[in-house]
Structure 1
């Protein structure tokens, strides 16, 4: 187990970038053969917008990387955090760390991004995509992503987890991000069965429906248990889904300049 975790701790940047590229490419290809919705769109033009936003995200991730490294050094020196108060098997601590990260850095922050007005304005850009596919997982406003990363730091401090746990979680998170957004058709029975524990492609697609109440549901990233536990889980007929958001014109979906200005555009009237 120690050797397994050391691999992620010592994983060079190029391998992390390769993992992101391979996972995205895999689902990009897969959705071409097993599409949930047969889109009529320019796949490359659509991806360009989301890849530009991914570029911003990666720059922010670089900055937060230094801050995160400082926090891990402090935790190592101070012994701060819940996991440092008890002696548990490494695999148990790893599972607990992943669960806390998924709860705080994914479910909780996502819930707040929908419920607090100024945060919702930052998050809107993720919902303005009218052709949800694997690249939509990269579609975040830079300020939205900074909020998300801040919550990840909170989860790290609370648990006092070692850096290897966090890096393993990030690898898993990349997979689930592209998996759940991918425009892939899974057998309903398989998707629904998996959704009892994990977030699945069909389950997450309801979150991208253009209107309430589905928009405010299925906030999880990896584990669906939080949505089930807190009453935000929805599962219905995917043929009813229409992508986009009802307060932003669909025609602006690929206009990168317009999208980046959305949080500051007072002509867009939010629900809060």
Structure 2
């Protein structure tokens, strides 16, 4: 775990682009949806949003170092109440982070009208592929990072656990959004435990009720536990979002302004 605690920034950034590149290449050979579109042009707005996300992530990392030091010095948090093996503490920390910083905040982003407007940017993508995983409005991402920090404080976890979780989260983000077709039996089997490409694609269907299902990022157990799991015929999925399909999903400025665009009328309001 010391490796993740001292992992240099260039290596963390490299991991992001490595995972993105791997799934970008796989999409060319094992596509789930074979549809002609200008892939590089489509990627442009998502990559620009990725730059903003990485800047926010770096700033949060700097600002929260003091919190990790305080947690360790004061032995604050659930993990300090029990004497567990490191692997058990790590597993528990990842599960809580996945529940609060992924499933929990994602659920709120869909159910709270003002937050939903921030999240529309992610769902407005009409060609979901690996780059869609990086497509978040800056305010959306700041909210996600705030919930991750809440989970860190509740658990009192060391910074190495948090960094390890971030590494896993990046992998799953590109894996679940990638336009790849896995054997149906394998995808369905894995979906009992983890979020799979097919499973997450239902969440990107252009209208309800599928839009409000499958909130998980890594573990699918939360969707199954809270009744938000869905797995139907993947060929029936249509990407985009009915309330924002009239906007240009490949225009960076348009996407940044969507939360404040009165022409995008939220069904949640």
User: Shared topology, TM-score over 0.5?
Assistant: yes
TM-fit CA distance, 1:67 = 2.0
> For residues 10-89 of structure 1, what are the structure 2 equivalents within 5 Å?
10-89=6-85
- Alignment RMSD (CA, Å): 0.8
Partner of 2:116: 120
- Aligned partners of 2:37, 2:223: CA distance in 1, in Å? 32
Unmatched tracts of structure 1, length 5 or more:
none
Partner of 1:249: 245
TM-fit CA distance, 1:251 = 5.1
Greater CA drift, 5-14 or 199-208: 5-14
Name the count of aligned residue pairs.
268
- Aligned partners of 2:263, 2:40: CA distance in 1, in Å? 30
- Aligned partners of 1:149, 1:7: CA distance in 2, in Å? 22
Q: Could you give the per-residue CA deviations for residues 201-247 of structure 1, whole angstroms, max 9, x where no partner exists?
A: 00000000000000000000000000000000000111100000000
- Aligned partners of 2:48, 2:164: CA distance in 1, in Å? 26
Give 2:263's match in structure 1, choosing from 234, 255, 267: 267
1:140 aligns to 2:122 (yes or no): no
CA contact (8 A) 2:247 2:254 kept: no
- Aligned partners of 1:111, 1:13: CA distance in 2, in Å? 30
- Aligned partners of 1:64, 1:234: CA distance in 2, in Å? 33
Give 2:162's match in structure 1, choosing from 140, 160, 166: 166
Using structure 2 for the length normalisation, give the TM-score: 0.98
TM-fit CA distance, 1:268 = 1.3
1:96 aligns to 2:75 (yes or no): no
CA contact (8 A) 2:187 2:197 kept: yes
